[in-house]
Each structure stands twice: as C-alpha cells, then as structure tokens.
C-alpha cells in the first residue's frame, strides 16, 4: 500500500459495532495511510476493506473549509442531516413554499434537529471555546483553534465509525480529559491513532499494533498491550539482560534520592516509574531510542524567583503580580486551559520576553534547556543534524568532534547516513528528536518543556520519560499527555485569571474540578433552553407584596399540571426503565462481541444467536425511543397550553 515498498502486506483487522481500537506503531508504519484507505482516499494494491453499506464514517477534515462560517454554524453543519434540513427550510422560505416549509420542519423534528445547536454548544465548551467566540468566523481563529473546530465538527457527525488521527494534539489537558469522557459515551465504533498512553488506556478496548507490515491485535487497553507485548519480548534473553540493567539503574537512583529527606517527595515519581518498568521493561529495552540527561555540574538553590512579575500587550494584561520560587530538584507541572498564559510564563522565565513590571532573578550557574514547538521552525532546514551538532560552541563547552556528534545523534535514532541529510526532508517527529538532542547535549540543570510530545511517536516519548525520570535537576513541564505528567512531576502550578498559584492537589483532583465546571456550564445551557418567556413560575418582577399570592398560584398551577400529565408521566417512567434495561443488554452483548474467540468456526452458532439478539435489541430500543419522544412531546404540549392560560 502506497509507495514502492508496501507499508502493509497481508494485514487484516476486524472491527465490531461499538468497538474502540487504538492504532499504534512507529512513525511511517502506515497508520494514517490505513485510515485514508478506509475513507477510499488511497487505493489498495491487494485485498479489500469491507463494512456495512448503511454505516456512516465520521472523520476530521484535512482541509479547512467554510472559513466565513461562524464557529457555531461550522460545527452544527458537521451534522449533515441537520445541514440538509436547514438548507431545505431556507429554500422553502425563499420560494414562499408553505407545503415544502412544513415538510422540512417535520423532517427537522424527525431527526431531533432542535437538539443539534445545544449539542454543538456543549462540544465547543468542552473543547475550550467561550460563548463569546461562538459567533466569530472560523478564519479569525489561530491554526490550533481551527484544528479544535474541525474536531468538534467531526464529533457532530452521526457516525457509526469514527476515525481519529492524533485527536489530542493541539488540545490542552483539560480538553483531553473532556474528550475522553465524550468518547466513552459515544455508542459507535472508533479507530484512533494516538501516542498518548493515558488517552488510549481510558478510551480503547483493543490495540492494533502495526509492525513490519503486519497488524497484530491485542485485546484490552494500552497497559494490557504492554503486558502482552512484554511477555513476547521477555523470551529474548538479550532484552531480559538489558531490562535488568535498566531496573538496577533506576533502583539505585531512587535509593540515592530517598537517603535525602529533602528529596523524598521527588523520589515518589521515580518509584511509580519503577513499578511500571517492572511490568513493561522488555518493551522499553527494545526501544531504538536510548538517551540520558547528563548529571548537572551545579544546582543553584533557588534556581530562579520572581517578584510581582506582570506581562501583557498594550491594554491587555496576561499575567499579573506573579510571585514564584523554583528550588533545585523541583518537578513542576504547569496546568491551565489554552490561552491562560502558560507559554507566556515560560517565555518570561527564560527571559525571551521582557516583563511589563516586576522582576525575575536567575541564580548564578543556572543553565536552561528549553524545548517548544516553535523551536522546530528555527532549525536551519538546509543543514544536516551533524552540522547543527558541530555548530554547538560555548565558553564552558568543548567543541564536539565529528565522530562524537555522530555517536550522540545515534542515541536519538539518527543513523550515520541520516546525520548527513538536510532536515528540510525530515518529518515533524524527526525534527522534534533533533531539537531534543541539541538540548540534551548542552547539559542543562533546568529543563523547560512546552508540549514536547507533539510529533513524537510512542518510542521517543518513552525514551524521553525514562531520561526525565533519571534527571536530578529541576523541571517545568507543559503537556496534554496525562501519563507523562503523572509519572514525572511532583507539584502543579495553576495558571488562571492572570495569576499563577500552587495547586494543592493531584492531577486527578484538578481535572475533576475542570470537568465539574464544564458540566455545570452545560446544565446551565439546558436550563436556559427550557426556560420560556411568560412562564407562570417567573416571578422575578413581582412585588414583595404579591410574592405569597404568586407562590400560591404557582402551587395551584403545578398541581393542575401534575394531574393533567399523570398518565403520560407514568408511561414515560416505564418507558425510561425499559429503555435503560435494553441499552444495558445491548452494551453487555457488545462486550461479548469483543472476545476474538467468538469468531472462530466452532462458535459460529453462538455468534449467530448473539447477532440476532443484537438486531432485536436495536429494533426495541428504536421503538422505545420513538415512544419516549412522543410522550415528551405530549407533556410539553400540555405544559405549553397551561402556560398560555
């Protein structure tokens, strides 16, 4: 498939309704090409991809379209049935065609189109947009926020199968947490390419590993994949020996830290890493990337501090009165929604941006290694990795020799031939690895990383994690990769409302707080939608003298309404119970269908019975949903008639 050398050969994969699969493999293994093949965007040289004719496939558009649309309009029209119904309504109104207008509104009602704008609002809120941005044109947003809009538009699709390629890139950790919850509630099937192990652990029930032109399927989440893969690799004695060396190195490092009471807390993340490496060390040992941060020659304490530090542009203040102290050995995770000022703070700390007021003091001997995505753009595209390495000269650093540079770059996956190629032909992941290599070589005692895992494949992420675990200097990390945060950092700085303050709690507590705020906002949207002008319960303008009479009138109204809707309410409660039971039975069936052995020849009768039950349940659920909607409409109609009295 694609190119002179086949990316995949005799590869097969089976996906069942409702199943969520993570697609992993090294960069260039063919993951994105496989998704394009499912979408018929690339042709197959052999074999076929089959799916039910009725299935709708949802995906994120590659090109940015409809730039003049508002964010809200762009997202809602991702629901193609809704978009078509709205187009027919607009055309009928233009033609003054009453019959066509009635028919179009009936169609909008049939597809529950009135709920679409509310769903779009919830998606936009979940992905970090404010209400003030809903009516802004798509073209007014930056590239990263346009990617979020494309993701929201994809999630609006009524898809039986959703294809996602690195959906967490360009998201902050709060939006990733929300997306995880959304995908957990999505009833369709999902194939997702991701290098974010926490995201995969939470979302998928199977891993498809692309390796050497084949697809190997592993049941369970990413942690289960690592355990199964580890068992395979542990059979190779050489890897087993390498694993023991890694574990011993990490154990000695932890013991050294634990011996110092002041460093006991910093050792905790290393303890977590050791627990993990004991179960997946063989996978790590097979990693082609192995690098280490040099032991800092000097660790000033404190490393830096700020006093009443403020920054902004003209009348727009981003950070105000920031007081921080970074101690030697601190491992800081920087959290806060995109746009809160995290990157601005980092640029202040490295003195790339001058403060508007206040002061920042770097201690003598501080040596900062800074990695950010925009640094990839500053690389000389016409130079090779070797030329970049040879150009590293500092007063306190000896000039690197040609062979030393080649050997060092080899740790980051650059072969001797690759070290001579101009980097303009490199992928984003290769450029990121080169930037990391240049930073590591300069032996910093403070490492500042701003979204380091974008463009990095799983192997490079793992190598970076191991190197950071061993690093004894200070660290400040911004990332949407929850696994990396929880395994590396010990404390969090929260950037919000122009302030930076210590967050007293772990990452789970912080994300739960953010999700709770989002749910409250979404509940508010529902409440505002259900509130109607003139409702008899609206007593905001009633005088204090009439409040008692108003309450009595409301009580009388509620009693009449309750009596009028008693039969519908009883039937509605019964239907809701039946619907809940049927949905649970269907979910249990789908769980059974994830068992790969179910599709073996000796279980064909059992599979046939399960598929029959699935079809019957789907018909029942559809019927119950129709009845539920009908009862809701009846209750709403009665309520409206009372409100008009």
Cβ-based burial of 251 (10 A; exposed 0-12, middle 13-18, buried ≥19): middle
Instruction: Give the DSSP letter of residue 334.
Output: E
Lowest mean pLDDT among 123-127, 221-225, 416-420: 416-420
Residue 585: pLDDT band (50, 70, 90) is confident
Per-residue pLDDT tens over the stretch 507-561: 888 888 887 877 777 677 666 655 544 444 444 444 444 444 555 555 555 565 5
Q: At residue 283, does pLDDT exceed 70? A: no
pLDDT of residue 360: 92
Q: Band the pLDDT of 395: cuts 50, 70, 90.
A: very low
The pLDDT value given to residue 305: 92
- Rounded mean pLDDT, 283-304: 75
Range 65-70 average pLDDT: 84
- CATH number for the region 304-515 comes to 3.40.50.300
Q: Which alpha helices (DSSP H) does 8-65 contain, by range?
A: 31-38
Which pLDDT belongs to residue 604?
72
Q: Class for domain 20-228, per CATH?
A: alpha beta
pLDDT at 253: 58
Res 163: pLDDT: 93
pLDDT in tens, 263-274: 555 555 556 655
Least confident of 102-116, 570-584, 594-608, 630-644: 630-644
Long-range interactions of 518-526: CB distance < 8 A, separation 24+: 518/125, 518/126, 518/178, 521/125, 522/121, 522/122, 522/125, 522/126, 525/118, 525/121, 525/122, 525/125, 526/118
Tell me the whole-structure pTM to 2 decimals: 0.63
Write phi, then psi, for 608 (nearest 5 degrees).
Answer: -60, -40
Q: Quickly count: other Cβ atoms within 10 Å of residue 250's Cβ.
A: 20
- Across the chain, what does the average pLDDT equal? 79
Cis-peptide into 539, omega within 30 deg: no
Residue spans of beta strands (DSSP E) within 425-470: 446-450
Token pair of 37 as six digits? 């093949």
């Amino acid at each position: 498939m694609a190119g002179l050398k086949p990316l995949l050969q005799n590869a097969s994969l089976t996906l069942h309704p409702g199943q969520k699969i993570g697609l992993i493999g090294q960069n260039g293994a063919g993951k994105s090409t496989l998704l394009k093949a499912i979408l018929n965007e690339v042709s197959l040289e052999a074999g076929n991809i089959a799916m039910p004719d009725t299935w709708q496939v949802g995906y994120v558009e590659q090109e940015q379209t409809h730039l003049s649309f508002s964010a809200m309009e762009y997202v809602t029209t991702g629901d193609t049935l809704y978009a078509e119904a709205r187009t027919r309504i607009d055309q009928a109104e233009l033609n003054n065609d009453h019959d066509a207008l009635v028919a179009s509104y009936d169609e909008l009602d049939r597809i529950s189109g009135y709920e679409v704008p509310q769903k779009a609002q919830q998606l936009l809120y979940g992905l970090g947009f404010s209400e003030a941005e809903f009516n802004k044109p798509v073209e007014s947003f930056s590239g990263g926020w346009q990617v979020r809009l494309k993701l929201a538009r994809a999630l609006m699709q009524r898809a039986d199968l959703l294809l996602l390629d690195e959906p967490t890139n360009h998201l902050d950790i709060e939006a990733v947490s929300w997306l995880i919850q959304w995908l957990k509630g999505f009833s369709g099937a999902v194939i997702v390419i991701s290098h974010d192990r926490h995201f995969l652990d939470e979302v998928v029930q199977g891993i498809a590993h692309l390796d050497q032109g084949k697809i190997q399927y592993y049941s369970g989440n990413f942690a289960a994949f690592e355990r199964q893969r580890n068992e395979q690799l542990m059979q190779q004695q050489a890897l087993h020996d390498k694993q023991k060396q890694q574990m011993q190195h990490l154990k000695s490092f932890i013991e050294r830290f634990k011996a110092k009471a002041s460093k006991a807390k910093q050792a905790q993340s290393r303890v977590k890493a050791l627990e993990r490496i004991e179960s997946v060390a063989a996978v790590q040992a097979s990693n082609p990337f192995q690098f280490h941060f040099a032991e800092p020659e000097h660790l000033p304490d404190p490393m830096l501090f700020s006093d009443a530090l403020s920054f902004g542009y003209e009348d727009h203040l981003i950070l105000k009165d920031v007081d921080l102290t970074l101690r030697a050995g601190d491992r800081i995770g920087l959290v806060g929604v995109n746009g809160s000022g995290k990157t601005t703070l980092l640029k202040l700390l490295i003195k790339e941006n001058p403060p508007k007021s206040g002061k920042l003091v770097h201690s003598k001997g501080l040596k900062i290694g800074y990695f950010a995505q925009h640094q990839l753009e500053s690389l000389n595209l016409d130079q090779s990795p070797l030329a970049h390495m040879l150009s590293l000269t500092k007063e306190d650093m000896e000039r690197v020799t040609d062979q030393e540079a080649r050997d060092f770059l080899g740790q980051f996956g650059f072969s001797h031939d690759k070290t001579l190629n101009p980097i303009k032909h490199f992928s984003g992941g290769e450029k990121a690895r080169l930037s990391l290599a240049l930073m590591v070589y300069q032996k910093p005692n403070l490492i500042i990383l701003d979204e380091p895992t974008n463009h990095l494949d799983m192997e490079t992420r793992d190598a970076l994690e191991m190197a950071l675990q061993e690093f004894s200097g200070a660290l400040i990390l911004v990332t949407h990769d929850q696994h990396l945060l929880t395994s590396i950092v010990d404390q969090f700085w929260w950037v919000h409302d122009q302030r930076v303050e210590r967050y007293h709690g772990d990452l789970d507590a912080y994300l739960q707080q953010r999700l709770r705020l989002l749910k409250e906002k979404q509940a508010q949207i529902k409440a505002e939608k259900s509130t109607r002008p003139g409702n008899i319960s609206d007593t905001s303008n009633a005088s204090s003298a009439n409040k008692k009479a108003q309450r009595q009138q409301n009580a009388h109204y509620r009693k009449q309404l309750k009596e009028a809707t008693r039969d519908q309410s009883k039937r509605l409660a019964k239907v809701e119970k039946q619907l809940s039971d049927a949905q649970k039975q269907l979910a249990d069936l789908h769980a059974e269908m994830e068992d790969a052995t179910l599709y073996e020849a000796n279980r064909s009768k059992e599979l046939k019975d399960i598929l029959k039950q699935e079809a019957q349940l789907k018909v029942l659920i559809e019927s119950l949903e129709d009845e539920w909607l009908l009862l809701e409409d009846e209750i709403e109609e009665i309520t409206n008639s009372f409100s008009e009295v």
